[in-house]
Amino acid sequence: MSAEALEQIDLRGLTGPQQEGWNCALCNARLFADRSLGVYRVVSCGQESRVELWACRPDCRTAARNAERLHAGRPRLPGWAW
Ligand SMILES: [Zn+2]
């Protein structure tokens, strides 16, 4: 995990689906291929919990382009894996 990824995450702004690993923690897209961003400490209402956050694989831009290609019935870009 890079320090760069850490800075991009605002834990307070994460939605339920993002914390549960359904949506990308960085761009909030529905995840089809994902990568772990690591486990983060989240404090809400005085309760501390640890959540593993997930993001688009291989990265948000490529995943978004692949989602478009999938809709258009075109072959996926390299790096896309189920
Ligand atoms: Zn993303």
Q: How far is the CA of 44 from the centre of ligand 1 (A)?
A: 23
What's the CA-to-centroid distance between 24 and ligand 1, angstroms?
5
Domain count, the chain: 1
**Within a domain: residue 77?**
no
Structure token digits, residue 32: 């089809």
**18 CA to centre of ligand 1 in angstroms:** 10
Which domain, by its residues, includes 15? 3-72
Contact 56, 50 (CB under 8 A): no
Residue 21 has pLDDT above 70, yes or no: yes
The confidence band for 8, taking pLDDT boundaries of 50, 70 and 90, is low
CA of 25 to the centre of ligand 1 (A): 7
| Confidence class for position 13, pLDDT limits 50, 70, 90 | confident
pLDDT of residue 61: 93
Position 81 in a domain: no
Report yes or no on 78 lying in a domain.
no
**79 in a domain, yes or no?**
no
Q: Is residue 18 part of a domain?
A: yes
Residues 6+ apart with CB under 8 A from 81: 33, 57
Q: Which residue has the higher pLDDT, 9 or 32?
A: 32
In a domain, 8, yes or no: yes
- Structural contact between residues 62 and 56, judged by C-beta atoms closer than 8 angstroms: yes
Tell me, in angstroms, the distance from the centre of ligand 1 to residue 14's CA. 13
